[in-house]
Chains A and B, each alone.
Chain A
Amino acid sequence: MNRRQVRHIARAELRRRYRAMTDDVRQLIAMAFTSLFILLGIIVGGVAAYFAGRAVANGDVSDPLGPAALVGAGIVLFVGFLVVVREMSRGGPPALAGHLTTVTADTLAAGHLVVEYAVTGLLFFPLALLGAAAFAVGSGSALSGLTVFVAATGAWALAVPLWSAFVYLMKYAFARVPALARHKGLIGAAGFAAYMWVVISGEFDTVLQPVLSGLAATPAGWFAHLGLFAFGGDPLRGVGALAVAAVGAPLFAAVALRLADLVWHADPLPADEPEEAETGSTGAGVEAYLPISRPTAAVVRRCWRRGRRSPITLVYVPYPLFFVAPPIAESLSQGAVTTTLPVVASLYAPWAVGAAFTLNPLGDEGVVLPATVTSGVGGRRYALGRILAGALPGTPLAVVATLVLGVLSPLSAVATVALAGLVLVLCPAAAAIAAGFGTTLPNTDSSEVFRGREAVLPSPWAFLGYSLVLVLAAVPGVLVWFPLSADLLGAAYGTGVGTVQILGTAATLVLGVVAGYVGYRVAARAVATFEMG
C-alpha cells in the first residue's frame, strides 16, 4: 500500500464529494436542514453530558457503568449506521476501473477508509469534544473529561473499519451467494418495509434496546470503564478498551481492505430478471380498452413500464407517507382504525397518485425528449397520457382503500362515502395539477439516487407547488369530515354540521376540478411549445 496514494485518493474523494454536494441545490438544502438537526443534537448531547457528569459525581446514579456501556455501544452503532447507510447507498468508488488499473485495491480501499474517518469525524468530534467538556464540568473532574473523550474516540476509531468491513462483507455476499444475489431486490424491499414499519409503529426503542444491550455486553461495553475511570470504572477493562481500539481498528481495517479487493474483483452472479413477455403493439393493459387515442395509450403504457422497471423514478410517491405515519401508528397502537386515518388517507392517496408519473413529464423523458417532441404526439395527448398513467391505477385503489378504512373506522357511512367521492375526483385532479407544475418547473438534471444509480427526479419546487395547491384544494372537503373540526366550523358560522360538510365537500370538488383542468392545460401547452435551449 502506498501511503502517498492513499492520502491523494482521500483528498480527491473529499473534494469530489464536496463539489457534488455544493453543485446540487437540493443536496445543499438537505444538508442545511441536516446540519440544523446535528447542531441541535450536539447541544442536547452536551447538556445531557453535563447533567450525566453531575449525577455521576453526586452519586445519584447507583450503577453509572450500565448506562455508560449503552452510550459506548450507541456510539459504535451510530457510527455504524452512518457508514452502512452511506456505503450501501452507493455502488462503489467512482471511476472504479480507472482506479483499479492505476493503484492497488488496498490502496484505493484505504483511501476510502480515510474518507469515512474524515466524514464521520466531522460529525463525531464536535459532539465528543463538547460532551467530554460538559461531562468534566458537570462532574467537576478534568480527568473524567479526558477519559470520556478518549473512550468515545476509541469507540469511533474501532467502529469505522468494523462497519466498513461489514459493508464489504454484505456486498460480497450479495454478489457471490446465489440465494442473496438472486433475491437482492426483494431482500432490499423487505428491509426497507421493515424499517418503515419500525418507524411508523413507534417500536424503534423496542427494537433498538436489545441491540444496544447485546453490543454493550461485548468489548464495546468496556469503553464505559475507560470513560468512567475516575468514577469506579474497572481499570483492567478500561485498558482492555484501549487495547481493543488499538488492535481492533487496524485489524478490521485490514479485513475491510481485503474484502474490498474481493468485492471489486468479484464476478457478480446475475439477478433473476423477469421475462419480457409483454411486447405487442396493441398493448395488453387497461389503456387498450379505453376510448383514448393510440399516442395517449402509448404514453400511458410507457409510464407504467418505466415505473415498474425503474421504481426509483417514483421516489416522490412515498414522501407524503411520512404525513400518514402518525395516524397509522395511532391505529396500530390502538389495534383499531381511528377516525383520523381514513380522513388523512383521503388526502394522502391523491397526493401519491399525482406524484407518481406527472411531476416531471419533460425531464423524465431524458434523451428521448427530442424524439418525443418531434413525434407529433402533441401536447394534449401527451399530457392526458401522463395524467391517466397515474390516475388509472391510482384512483380505484385509493377509493377502495378509503372505503375500507372508513368502514373499519368509527366514521359514519355518509362520511365514508363522501371521502371516497372526494378521492375519486382528487386523484385525477392531483395528477393534472402535478403535470402543470412538473412541466412548468421541469428538472432535466440527473442525480445519484441509490448505489450509484442516476435518475432524473422531479424538481423539489414542482413537488412543493403541487403539494401546496392540492392541499389548498383538498383541505375544505377533508377538514369537514373530522368530527371536531366540523362542529367547530358549524359553531363558528352559526350553521349546522351537515351544511358545513356539504359546503366543504362541494368547495373541494370545485377547486379540485378547476385546479386539475388548469394543470392539464398548462401541461399540454408546455409540451406543445417546448423548446430545447
Chain B
Amino acid sequence: MVPAIEARGLTKRYGDTTAVEGLDLTVEAGSVFGFLGPNGAGKTTTMRMLTTLTKPTEGEATVAGADVRERAAVVSNIGYLPEEPPLFEEFTGREMLEYYAGLRDIDDPDARIDDLLSRFGLEDAADRRTDGYSKGMKQKTAIAAAILHRPDVLFLDEPTSGLDPRAARTVRETLADLAAADTTVFLSTHILPVVEELADTVGVLYDGSIVASGAPAELTARAEAGGGGTLEDVFLEVTGGTGER
C-alpha cells in the first residue's frame, strides 16, 4: 500500500536558519498521525511543505502519491486547517462554505454543506456573519471547509485549540469518523490527550528533526521503562525536559 504521506530528507532553510532538517516520515493511508513538538520545532514549516505552501530546500515528499513540488496534483487531494481559521469575517458560515465549494469546483454542494453545518451544530448560526462567531464556532466552520470536498489527506494545525469540551468532542468524533472512512489525518497539536485518543502513530519533532516516533502505546511503554508512563513524559523526555524553548 502506498503511504499517504512520505518524506525523505525533507529540509527547509531560511538563509542561515534551518527550520526543518532531514525529516523522514511515513504516514500510512487511513491512519491518524499525531505530530508533536514544542513551539518553534518546525511543525508549521513541515505542514506548509507538505501542503505545498512552502517549497522544501532539499529532500523529497509525496502526499497522496503526488510530489509536494507539484501544487496542482497535491491540493486536489488534501484539506488544510491552518492554526488561524481561514474565514472572511464579512461572510456568513454558509457563504464561507459555499465559497470554498466554488473554489473546489464541487457540483451541487448544498446538501453537503447542510450536512456539515448540521454535524457541527452550526445550523442556527449558518446565516450569521462569522465575525460574531465564538472561537469554537469559527474553528468548526473552518474544519467543515477543510473536509468539504472529502479529501484523502487532512492536515490540521491545532484543531481543538480554544474549543470548549463539547466542541472539542465534536471535532474528535469527526476526526475519528474521517479516519474510519480511510481519510488520512495529519494532526498537529499540543493537546496530548487528543493525540493519545486518536493517533495511530505519533512523531515528535524537536529542533527540526523527528526525535521519537511510533504508536502511542509503544512510546508510553518506553517511557514506563524510564519511570514515566504517559505521552507527556515521552514528550518532555525527548524534547529536553521542557516544552517551552
Contact = CB atoms under 8 A, between A and B. Distances in A.
A276 to B, nearest CB: 5
Contacts of B48: 370, 532
Contacts of A373: 52-53, 71, 75
Given A298-B102, A368-B87, 15 more contacts: A276-B129, A279-B95, A301-B102, A306-B91, A310-B90, A367-B82, A370-B86, A371-B100, A371-B142, A371-B145, A372-B103, A373-B53, A375-B103, A376-B105, A528-B71
A15 interface: no
Contact of B87 (A279, A367, A532, A533): A367
B53 A532 contact: yes
B85 interface: yes
20 contacts: A276-B95, A281-B113, A298-B102, A305-B88, A305-B91, A309-B90, A309-B129, A367-B87, A368-B88, A370-B82, A370-B86, A371-B142, A371-B146, A374-B74, A375-B104, A376-B105, A378-B72, A528-B71, A533-B14, A533-B54
Given A375-B103, A375-B104, A279 B98 contact: yes
Contacts of A309: 90-91, 129
Contacts of B101: 281, 298
A376 B76 contact: yes
B177 interface: no
Nearest to B112: A281
B80 interface: yes
Interface size class of B (residues with CB under 8 A): 35 or more
B173 interface: no
Contacts of B71: 373-374, 528
Contact of A367 (B85, B127, B128): B85
Contacts of A21: none
Contact of B102 (A278, A297, A366, A370): A297
Contacts, number: 112
A295 interface: yes
Interface string A45-87: 0000000000000000000000000000000000000000000
Contacts of A298: 98-99, 101-103
B7 to A, nearest CB: 17
Interface in A498-533: 528, 531-533
Contacts of B91: 302, 305-306, 309
B110 interface: yes
A294 B108 CA distance: 11
Top-5 shortest CB links A-B: A298-B102, A371-B86, A309-B90, A375-B103, A368-B86
A301 B127 CA distance: 17
A276 B125 CA distance: 12
A299 interface: yes
A376 B148 CA distance: 13
Interface string A297-332: 111011001100110000000000000000000000
A281 B104 CA distance: 12
A147 B127 CA distance: 64
B230 interface: no
A377 B103 contact: yes
Nearest to B97: A281
Interface residues of A, number: 35
Nearest to B98: A281
Contacts of B146: 371
Contact of B94 (A279, A305, A310, A374): A279
A306 B82 CA distance: 21
Interface string B103-123: 111001110010000000000
Contacts of B128: 276
Interface in A260-292: 276, 278-281, 283
B92 A279 contact: yes
A305 B102 CA distance: 14
Contacts of B52: 373-374
Contacts of B53: 370, 373-374, 531-532
B99 A531 contact: no
Given A281-B110, A532-B54, A375 B100 contact: yes
A293 interface: yes
Contact of A294 (B51, B74, B92, B105): B105
A310 B137 CA distance: 22
Contacts of A368: 86-88
Most buried by A among B71, B85, B108: B71
Nearest to A532: B53
Contact of A299 (B55, B84, B103): B103
B78 interface: yes
Most buried by B among A276, A294, A376: A376
Nearest to B89: A310
Contacts of A302: 88, 91, 99, 102
B103 A306 contact: no
B23 to A, nearest CB: 18
Contacts of B127: 276, 279
B87 A301 contact: no
A367 B103 CA distance: 16
A374 B88 contact: no
B80 A371 contact: yes
Nearest to A275: B127
Contacts of A366: 88
A370 B80 contact: yes
Contacts of B87: 367-368
A301 B145 CA distance: 17
A371 B55 CA distance: 16
Most buried by B among A280, A366, A371, A377: A371
Interface string A345-388: 00000000000000000000011111111111110000000000
Contacts of A374: 51-53, 71, 74-75, 78, 80
Contact of A370 (B51, B55, B90): B51
